[in-house]
Amino acid sequence: MTAGLRHLRRGRRRTVLAALAVFVPVFLLVVFLGMIGGMEKEMFASLTGFDTGHFQIRRATDRPASGALPLVRDPAPLLAVVEASTQVTWYTVRLDLPALAAAAERSLGVVVQGVRPADAAESPFARAVTSGRYLEPGDEGVVVGRQLLDALGLSLGDEMILLGAHPQGTAGVAVPRIVGVFDLPDPALGRGLVHVDLGVAQRLVRSPAVTAVVGYVRGVEGPWDTPRIAEAVARLRAHLPEGYEVLDWAQLGPESLGFMRLMRPIVVGFMVAFFFLGGLVVLNTLYLSVLERTRELGIILALGAPRRYVMRQVLLESGLLATGAAVAGAALGLGFVLVVEAVGGFPLPGAYEEVTALFGMQPHLRMRVTAAEVAMAAVAMVAVAVAAAWYPARRAAALEPLETMRHAN
The answer to whether residue 402 forms part of the interface with another protein (CB under 8 A) is yes
Kindly tell me which residue out of 99, 162, 300, 367 binds another protein, with binding defined by CB under 8 A: 300
- Residue 210, beta-bridge partner list: 72
Smaller CB separation from another protein, 131 or 294: 294
CA dist., res. 253 & res. 3, Å (int):
59
Q: How far is the CB of 17 from another protein (least distance, A)?
A: 19
User: Binders of another protein among 222-241, rule CB under 8 A?
Assistant: none
- Secondary structure tally for the chain: helices H, strands E: 17, 13
Question: How many residues lie near another protein (CB under 8 A)?
Answer: 22
Alpha-carbon span 152 to 142, nearest angstrom: 14
> What spatial distance separates the first Cα and last Cα of the chain, rounded to whole Å?
28
Q: How many residues does the chain have?
A: 409
Q: Is 408 in the site for another protein (CB under 8 A)?
A: yes
For the stretch 233-268, what's the b/e string if a residue is b when 16 or more beta carbons lie within 10 angstroms of its beta carbon? bebbeeebeeebebbbbbebbeebbeebeebeeebe
**Using rule CB under 8 A, residue 407 touches another protein:** no
Amino acid identity at 187: P
For residue 198, the Cα-to-chain-centroid distance in whole angstroms is: 31
Q: CB under 8 Å to 242, separation ≥6 — which residues?
A: none
Shortest separation between residue 366's beta carbon and another protein, angstroms: 48
Piece in contact with another protein (CB under 8 A), picked from 223-231, 276-284, 375-383, 400-408: 400-408
> Which residue number, 175 or 398, has a Cβ lying nearer to another protein?
398
| CA-angle at 22, arms to 343 and 269, nearest 5° | 80
Alpha carbon distances (Å) from 216 to 40, 82, 85, 87, 130: 17, 10, 11, 8, 28
Q: Which residue, 276 or 309, has its beta carbon nearer to another protein?
A: 309
Determine if 254 is a binding residue for another protein (CB under 8 A).
no
Could you say whether residue 295 binds another protein (CB under 8 A)? yes
Residues 303-322 that bind another protein (CB under 8 A): 303-307, 309
Q: Are strands 193-197 and 178-182 parallel, antiparallel or unpaired?
A: unpaired
Q: How far is the CB of 3 from another protein (least distance, A)?
A: 5
> What is the rounded distance in angstroms from the CA atom of residue 89 to the CA atom of residue 49?
13
Q: Does 302 bind another protein (CB under 8 A)?
A: yes
Contact status: 10 vs another protein (CB under 8 A): yes
Instruction: Compare residues 357 and 405 and give the one whose CB is closer to another protein.
Output: 405
The nearest distance, CB 279 to another protein, in angstroms, is 25
Residue 3 touching another protein (CB under 8 A)? yes
395 binds another protein (CB under 8 A): no
Interaction between residue 299 and another protein (CB under 8 A): yes
Interface residue with another protein among 185, 208, 324, 401 (CB under 8 A) is 401
Q: How far apart are CA 47 and CA 59, in angstroms?
A: 22
Cβ distance to another protein smaller for residue 239 or 307? 307
Burial (0-12, 13-18, 19+ Cβ within 10 Å), 89: middle
Select 42 or 317, whichever has its Cβ closest to another protein: 317
Choose the binding region for another protein from 24-32, 127-135, 167-175, 302-310 (rule: CB under 8 A). Answer: 302-310
| 405 interacts with another protein by CB under 8 A | yes
Within 323-352, the residues that bind another protein by CB under 8 A are none
Distance CA 180, CA 162 (A): 16
Q: Which residues bind another protein (CB under 8 A)?
A: 2-3, 6-7, 10, 295-296, 299-307, 309, 401-402, 405, 408-409
